[in-house]
Structure formats: structure tokens, C-alpha cells
Amino acid sequence: MQRSVLFVLFACHVAALPARAQRSAPADWRAFTRALDAYAAEDGIVGASALVLRDGRVIARHDYGWADRDLRQRADTNSIYHWASITKTLTAVAIMQLCERGRLALDDRVTRYIPELRRLHNPFGSMDDITIEMLLSHSAGFQAPTWPYGRGQPWEPFEPTRWEQLVAMLPYQELRFAPGSRYGYSNPAFIYLARTIEQITGDAWQSYVQKNLLTPLGMSRSYFGTTPYHLAPFRSNNYTVTRDSAGRETAEPNGRDFDPGITIPNSGWNAPLGDLVRWLSLLTGATGGDTATARLFDTVLGRSSLEEMWRARYLAVEPVYPAPTAAPADSIGLSFFVLWRNGTRFVGHTGSQAGFRSFFYIDSATGAGVVAVFNTRNDARPEDSAAGFRAIRDRALALIAQ
């Protein structure tokens, strides 16, 4: 009963959106879903979901397998997934909101808001040289992982859980390269951006994002951290595939909830695909000609600010699992990755944390977008798994290039 009521409420919310012309599924949709199913079966993936949208409307959706295998809970429209590093796009848009409202500037020195960063070793100069724009474009020189230790000890936390833990580690770390000289993917950079938001507004990061992004956009089933009670039945489990001494591969559940700790601003977003549709509607400007929706979107973030975020800054390597084998991406803007395929520009991001992997991309020129998420990571064959993930990503891009 609870599941049915929540679905009806969500459906009513979607039905209240401005009417738009219906579109048919992409011509290659069935071939794409067959390829996705084949990859999922080969990689040991327990559950997955994907959709394509145009002008803010879902024109095709496909679900594979189980959100929770042991509970026999199918992956479906209600399934809530963890979006990992796609969370960074929330943090980045929040920063750009503050820029639009005159609360900060992209060339502001980060130490103005976080003086503790001066404790970190910078062999290339002063920590005062690092700007907000460098954090957004992953060019500040910070390391990639938030937690620099990973020996698999049982006492190690999944991620640091408190700000003071990060501050305590600063004197024992140093920048990897000169700020502003190149790209280097960094999770801590987005924790520092979140801290900046908190210092300027007085709101905790989660409160600011809830008030200024999730609520205005109607993303009512998005949350961070532990799953709320009323959404717990829909939370997808996540799995890791390992191989035993006999060569058998098994997908073991990791548990529905886990604590991303202090890393929530860079990897803590949980939501069903429906809320991702709302997010991509903002990014693509899918107002359906409705002036109220257009005003709402402009209040959240203006089109000129989004285009500024999508302007290429540095050549980049896209952060897919595992990072060392990731295929080259075209470039990095402000948090968003920019890919060019056959003359078409795609903007988006990927995510990988615990057993979850995901991606979304949009073609802002046509209002098309694609989202896909998998609830299983294959540690038995990581390179093959990463290659399969990239292949599905590329086929997804082809879908929205039509």
C-alpha cells in the first residue's frame, strides 16, 4: 500500500508539469537495451535502469534485473539509486547560484573562506593562489581521493566523517601539481566548495541544496545520507562481484545504506531516475514554453551561467571506474565534462561509489538527455567491466545524437 501511494503521488507531480509534445523512442533503442542487458549479464550486474528524455519528457525507459536480489525487488520506476560523483553537479550549480547573486566570484581565493588550507604543503607557491574556478574545474592540484588511506583494514572508515578529520590531515599532504596548470580529478576540491557555501550562507550544505535546488525543482524523492523511512522500501541495494579461488564469480550485497561521511557534497546524492529527469530538465532548459517554468529555471540558475559551466577549460580524463583505465574525454568545464562526438557536444558526468556506477549526458542544443545507472561493481574483472561501461556510455550518446 505504501509503495502504491508514493507512486501515485509522484505520478501526480509529473502530470502537473507543463504539457509537451510526445516523442517516440530513439530508432536504436531496442538495440541499445539488448546491448545493455548483454553487458549486465556478462558483468554480473544485479540491477540497472536507463532512460532517454527529450524536452523534459521521458521517451524511453528500460529496467534490468533486481534492485534487491534477496528481497526479489525488481528494478523499476520507484527504485532509488546512489548517484555518487554526479552529486558534484549539484554542488557546482549551488556555487554558480551564489555567483549570480553576488555572494562570491569565480576568481575569489579559496583561503578567503577556508584559511585552514594554508596548512597544506604547496611546493609550487602560495595556497592563496587557488581560486573557486580551479576547484570547480579540478585544476587546483589536490589529490583525487578524500581519504588517502585504503589498505582495507576493518577499522578504516568508508570515508572521513567530520571536517576536522580533513583539517588534521592537511599538514601531511601536498599539492600534486601547480594550481591552474592542468586537470586532475579531485574529490576534496568539492568538499572545499561545499565548505565555502556553508561559510557564505550559514546553511549546512544539505540544507542549502534542499532549499535552493531540490525543493524548487520538485525533486521530492532526493536525499543525502541515510534513507528516510518513507523511502526505505524503494532503496536499491548495491553489490560487488568477486572471484573465489576456484574462479567462480559472485555478486555480494554491500547493504542498502552506507555513510559517505564528509564526502556527501561530492558523492552523496540518492534519488530515483524521475528526479534525475527534473535535474536534466533544468540543464536542457525544457520549459515546454511555459513562462512560469522558465522563470523558475532562471531563478535556480540562468542559461548564461550554465553555458559558462560547459565552456571547456582543460583536456581531461573522464572519471569512470577504474580511473587509471578511463578513456580520454574531451575536456572539463566547471564540474561538467564536455565530450564531442561527430560534431555534437555532450555535457554530463559519471558516478562510482560502493557498488553503484552511473552516467548522464545531455545535448543542450536539442534538449535530449540520457541517464543510466548500475547497482553492481565488478572487482573480479575491473578492466573488462570498465570497457563495457564505456561502450554502453558511447551507445547512449549515439541515441541522443539522432
Residue percentage of the chain with pLDDT more than 70: 89
Residue 16 located in a structural domain: no
Together in a domain, 156 and 303: no
Task: Report the pLDDT averaged over residues 29-47.
Answer: 98
Distance CA 325, CA 37 (A): 23
Coil, strand or helix: which one is 85?
helix
- Chain-centre distance of CA 101, in angstroms? 24
Domain end (from 179, 201, 223): 201
Q: Which domain holds residue 240?
A: 2-7+21-86+205-400
Please compute, for residue 137, the number of CA atoms within 13 A of its CA located in the half-sphere on the CB side: 27
Which of the residue ranges 10-14, 92-96, 195-199 would you say has the lowest mean pLDDT? 10-14
DSSP annotation of 305 reads H
Residue 14 located in a structural domain: no
Together in a domain, 214 and 334: yes
Task: Report the pLDDT averaged over residues 31-43.
Answer: 98
Residue 73, domain CATH: 3.40.710.10
Together in a domain, 263 and 355: yes
Q: How far is CA 59 from CA 50, 54, 202, 205, 310, in A?
A: 11, 7, 41, 33, 25
pTM here is 0.90
CB contact at 8 A, 131 and 107: yes
Residue 229 located in a structural domain: yes
Residue 247 located in a structural domain: yes
Residue 109 located in a structural domain: yes
Together in a domain, 302 and 223: yes
* pLDDT band at residue 8 using 50, 70 and 90 as cut-offs: very low
pLDDT tens, residue by residue, 93-118: 999 999 999 999 999 999 999 999 99
- Chain-centre distance of CA 308, in angstroms? 19
Together in a domain, 43 and 82: yes
Together in a domain, 268 and 252: yes
Residue 41 located in a structural domain: yes
Together in a domain, 217 and 328: yes
Together in a domain, 274 and 162: no
Domain end (from 201, 219, 253): 201
Together in a domain, 210 and 269: yes
Together in a domain, 264 and 218: yes
The rounded radius of gyration (Å) of the Cα atoms in the chain is 20
User: Residue 320 has what pLDDT?
Assistant: 41
Together in a domain, 241 and 301: yes
Coil, strand or helix: which one is 380?
coil
Residue 15 located in a structural domain: no
Residue 13 located in a structural domain: no
pLDDT tens, residue by residue, 205-239: 999 999 999 999 999 999 999 999 999 999 999 99
Domain end (from 155, 171, 201): 201
Sheet containing strand 57-68, edge to edge, reads: 73-74, 57-68, 47-54, 368-374, 356-363, 344-353, 337-341, 328-332, 314-317
Together in a domain, 126 and 216: no
Please tell me the total count of domains within the chain: 2
